[in-house]
Amino acid sequence: GAVVSQHPSWVICKSGTSVKIECRSLDFQATTMFWYRQFPKQSLMLMATSNEGSKATYEQGVEKDKFLINHASLTLSTLTVTSAHPEDSSFYICSAREGRLAGGGTQYFGPGTRLLVL
């Protein structure tokens, strides 16, 4: 089956530093990638949608200058949390949708990255 990887799987950083998380689709091309955030015992919250070669679309309430998304190729998207603060601590999960059909295809998820900001 389709595999999505994320790196790193967990990261601890000091307040004020920036953290970059990579998301790769290993065996398929993903025109569209997604970034989610999940708080304990809660469901997934979509942060942004990114299409290869174009700017990401952010959900309401998500600061685009704080969460920088780059979808540089059909297999790689990165999320950079800039000037991280303790309230940014969370579980971040990326997802990639296979296929080039607009809105079609199955969405596969990465294993997640746990971020702890001290």
Partner 1 sequence: EDQVTQSPEALRLQEGESSSLNCSYTVSGLRGLFWYRQDPGKGPEFLFTLYSAGEEKEKERLKATLTKKESFLHITAPKPEDSATYLCAVRPGGGSQGNLIFGKGTKLSVKP
Whole-number Å distance between alpha carbons of 40 and 35: 17
Interface of this chain with partner 1, residues 67 to 96, rule: CB under 8 A: 91, 93, 95
Q: Which is nearer to partner 1, 87 or 102 (CB)?
A: 102
Pairing verdict, β 45-51 and 32-38: antiparallel
Terminal C-alpha separation, the chain: 37
Q: Which is nearer to partner 1, 14 or 40 (CB)?
A: 40
Please report the sign of the dihedral spanned by the C-alpha atoms of residue 39, residue 28, residue 54, residue 23.
positive
CA 76 vs CA 15, 63, 85, 86, 117: distances in Å: 27, 21, 26, 27, 25
The answer to whether 29 contacts partner 1 (rule: CB under 8 A) is no
Pick one of 14, 43, 60, 87: the residue that binds partner 1 (CB under 8 A).
43
Q: Using CB under 8 A, count the residues that bind partner 1.
A: 25
The answer to whether 112 contacts partner 1 (rule: CB under 8 A) is yes
The answer to whether 58 contacts partner 1 (rule: CB under 8 A) is no
Which residues are at the interface with partner 1 (CB under 8 A)?
1-2, 4, 6, 34, 42-44, 46, 49, 57, 91, 93, 95, 102-104, 106-112, 114
